[in-house]
């Protein structure tokens, strides 16, 4: 055998050995990586509101690219799968001039349900921060969402309470939420009907709280001789705002006292059943005047024309040149906190 032939044989065996190392040596790591791969990337693409932890039913759910999968119990084959659904609404929720976000999440377990939750997140200087979740319903049909003046409006279609889950959703529902003390809270809107069951209460953005104490059914029963037809009546406790901290009791009925005025509020009973009542509340509104820019450097926003001040210099006054002077959510005149205004004041 010549030296050339021997050299070729050595090269051939070396190539075969290297091929075997690649084929059998690297594959275990490749396979292991494939076995541990989740339905979504294991690392978040960006540190946004789809990649933080939310609390759902008192359980922390960490989203990675809008997805979470965890065992129902340790060692269980059943999974709790949480997904970003969408229906995003963007706007300032806490009055800091920064755009926050609200959106829908779905959660599935081992059953047939698809549970929808409203989730909200605040954008802070440290990043995105969860502001809570609220359960909306099982297998509902989401519609449009929006954020206006710090209030989240959620619209969806659900079934009647008496209908089975197999029925197509047909009842339009609107719910309203605000961020209070850093957390999501449902509120009612004036002049918009809402429904309560005994033991439930509802809050308004001005601090008014109404709670349903009980429902009394005095309707004449079938087959019984009665001197009057009777009615459904509801007893409520109201507190807060101009009503005061001491609860005041009001009664509304389907036949008598369908509407009662107390202080700045008018309470009306829209409808009632033996288990729920639908109420509408109106608030007397004061006609407010315009807001005016005043002060020596145009730094004052008030409801008085030609407001004067001492002529003193501050770099922050320049920020108000492009700011908006208008009525705020509390009814007072003030500078509207936009992201641009907040950034300008912070840089001075």
Quote the DSSP letter at residue 24: I
Burial environment of residue 120 by CB neighbours within 10 A (0 to 12, 13 to 18, 19 or more): buried
269, 234 contact by CB (below 8 A): yes
Domain residue limits, the chain: 3-35, 41-188, 190-285, 292-347
> Token pair for residue 276?
């729920």
Look at residues 281, 317, 313 and name the one whose alpha carbon lies nearest to residue 299: 317
CA angle, residues 105, 107, 112, in degrees to nearest 5:
135
pLDDT at position 77: 85
Q: Take residue 183 and report the two structure tokens written for it.
A: 């957390």
**Rounded Cα distance, 139 and 115, in Å:** 6
User: Are 88 and 101 a contacting pair, CB within 8 Å?
Assistant: yes
HEC string for 215-246 = EEECCCCCCCCCCCCCCEEEEEEEEEHHHEEE
CA distance 86 to 102: 9
Q: How far is C-alpha 342 from the chain's CA centre?
A: 24
Measured CA angle at 337 (ends 333, 343), to 5 deg: 145
Q: Across-strand partners of 124? A: 127
Please report the pLDDT score of residue 13 as a whole number.
Answer: 60
pLDDT of amino acid 30: 32
Contact 157, 140 (CB under 8 A): yes
Which pLDDT value is given to residue 26?
38
CA distances from 139 to 106, 166, 174 (A): 9, 10, 16
Partner residues linked to 100 by β-bridges: 91
Would you call 2 helix, strand, or coil by DSSP? coil
| Cβ(284)–Cβ(264) below 8 Å | yes
Instruction: Identify the bridge partners of residue 211 per DSSP, sorted by sequence position.
Output: 201, 237
Cβ neighbours, 10 Å, residue 283: 16
Distance of CA 348 to the CA centre of its chain: 34
What is the structure's pLDDT at 265?
95
Phi-psi region of 347 (alpha: psi -120 to 50; beta: other; left: phi over 0): alpha
Please list the pLDDT of the chain residue by residue as tens digits (348 residues): 555 555 556 565 665 655 554 444 434 333 333 333 344 445 555 569 999 999 999 999 999 999 999 998 888 888 999 999 999 999 999 988 899 999 999 999 878 889 999 999 999 988 999 999 999 999 999 998 999 989 999 999 999 888 999 999 999 999 999 998 888 999 999 999 999 999 999 999 889 999 999 999 999 998 889 888 999 999 999 999 989 999 999 999 999 999 999 989 999 999 999 999 999 999 987 777 899 999 999 999 999 988 888 888 899 999 999 999 998 877 789 999 888 888 898 887
> CA dist 195 to 173, 174, 190, 253, 278, Å?
11, 11, 13, 15, 4
Encoding tokens for residue 294? 């005043």
Give the three-class secondary structure for 317: helix
CA 148/CA 207 separation, integer angstroms: 19
């Amino acid at each position: 055998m010549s030296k050339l032939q021997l050299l070729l044989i050595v090269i051939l065996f070396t190539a075969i050995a290297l091929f075997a190392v690649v084929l059998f040596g690297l594959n275990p790591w490749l396979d292991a990586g494939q076995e541990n791969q989740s339905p979504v990337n294991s690392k978040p693409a960006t540190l946004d509101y789809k990649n933080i932890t939310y609390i759902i039913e008192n359980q922390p759910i960490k989203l990675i690219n809008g997805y979470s999968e965890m065992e129902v119990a340790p060692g269980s084959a059943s999974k709790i799968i949480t997904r970003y659904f969408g229906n995003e609404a963007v706007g300032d929720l806490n009055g800091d001039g920064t755009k926050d976000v609200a959106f829908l999440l779905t959660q599935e377990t081992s059953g047939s349900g698809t549970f929808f939750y409203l989730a909200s997140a605040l954008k802070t200087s440290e990043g995105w921060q969860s502001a809570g979740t609220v359960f909306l319903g099982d297998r509902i049909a989401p519609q449009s969402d929006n954020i206006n003046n710090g209030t989240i409006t959620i619209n969806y279609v659900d079934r009647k309470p008496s209908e089975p889950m197999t029925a197509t959703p047909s009842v339009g529902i609107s719910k309203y939420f605000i961020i209070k003390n850093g957390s999501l809270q449902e509120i009612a809107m004036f002049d918009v009907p809402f429904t309560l069951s005994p033991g439930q209460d509802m809050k308004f953005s001005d601090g008014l709280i109404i709670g349903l104490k009980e429902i009394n059914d005095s309707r004449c029963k079938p087959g019984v001789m009665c001197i009057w037809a009777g009615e459904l009546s509801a007893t409520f406790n109201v507190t807060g705002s101009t009503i005061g901290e001491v609860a005041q009791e009001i009664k509304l009925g389907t036949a008598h006292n369908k509407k009662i005025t107390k202080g700045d509020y008018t309470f009306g009973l829209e409808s009632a059943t033996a288990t729920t009542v639908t109420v509408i509340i109106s608030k007397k509104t004061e006609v407010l005047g315009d807001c005016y820019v005043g002060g020596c450097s145009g730094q004052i926003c008030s409801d008085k024309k030609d407001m004067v001040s001492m002529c003193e210099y501050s770099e922050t006054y320049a920020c108000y040149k492009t700011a908006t002077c208008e009525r705020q959510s509390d009814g007072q005149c003030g500078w509207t906190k936009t992201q641009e205004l907040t950034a300008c004041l912070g840089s001075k």
